Amino acid sequence: MKIATFNVNSIKVRLPILLSWLEEAKPDVVCLQEIKCLAGDFPTLELKGLGYHTEVVGQRSYNGVALLSKAPALDVVAGLPGDDADAQARYVEATVEGVRIASLYLPNGNPVATEKFSYKLAWIKRLKARAETLLVQEIPFVLAGDYNVCPTDADVFDPAALRDDALCQPESRRGFRALINLGLVDAFRIFHPEPHRYSFWDYQQGRWYRDEGLRIDHLLLSPQAADRVIAADIDKSPRGKDKASDHTPVWCELAMR
C-alpha cells in the first residue's frame, strides 16, 4: 500500500497538478491538507474518475483536509479528539484495508508570542493523546500530514535564519519528539538519514530554485506499520510545475499481509 501526504495549498488551484500526479505516482491512499474549500465544493467527481473514494473535512478559504483512497475508508473520524470547541478543519482519520490512516494539518503557530503558538502546542498534545489511544489498540497506523515542525536543524536550509520561527521552536520540536518517544517512526528517515532533504519551499526569494527548503511534511508510523514499511521518499516533481503548491508529496509503502 502506497500512502502519500500532500499539502496542496488550495485544491481548486492545484487540481490539474494533483490529477496528473495521481495518474503518474498511483498512490493507494493520499492525505491532503489545505484544501481550502467546503466538502460540497471538493472535486469528488474528478477524483472518482481516477478511482478514488474521498473523505473530506472542509473549511471555506482556510485549512481543510481530505483522505483519498482506492479502497473504501471505514470508521471515519472527522476532527482531532480532545477539544469539541475547536472549529478548525485540520484532521480526518479512517481505516483503509486494515491500516488506520490520518490526514492532519498541524497549526503553523506564528507569530510565536501569540495565542496561535499556544494553539499549536495544545494541538500537538491532543495529537499525542490520540496516538496513545491508537497505540493501545496495537494496530498499524499512519499519522500523515503537514506537521509544521522541522524536527532538527538537518531539516532546515538555514537554522540560524529560522531560529525564531514557530516551526523550529524548542517547544515545537519537543512535541514532535514526544510522538517519536511513544514508539512512532518517521518513515522518511528510515531510508534517508542524509540531511537537507525538503518537502516545502517558500514562494519568496527563489527558495525552490536554490533548494532552500524545510522538511515539515511527515508520515509517522506505529510499530506495527513500521514493521511493514518497505520504501519512503519525497517526490519533488510536482513542486517544479507551473502554479505548483509550495509543498510536494512525501510517501511511504507498506507491505500488506
Q: Name the DSSP letter for residue 73.
A: P
Residue 134 region by backbone torsions, left for phi larger than 0, else alpha for psi between -120 and 50, else beta:
alpha
Question: Dihedral sign, CA of 189, 194, 195, 196?
Answer: negative
Which pLDDT value is given to residue 106?
98
Which pLDDT value is given to residue 224?
98
Number of domains in the chain: 1
- Per-10-residue mean pLDDT of the chain, 257 residues long, equals 98 98 98 98 98 98 97 98 97 98 98 97 98 98 98 98 97 98 98 98 96 98 98 98 98 94
Which pLDDT value is given to residue 90?
98
What's the rounded Cα separation, in Å, for the pair 141 and 124? Answer: 17
Which pLDDT value is given to residue 257?
74
239: domain range?
2-254
Residue 52's CATH number: 3.60.10.10
Which pLDDT value is given to residue 138?
97
What's the rounded Cα separation, in Å, for the pair 236 and 144? Answer: 17
| Residue the block writes with cell 521518499 | 233
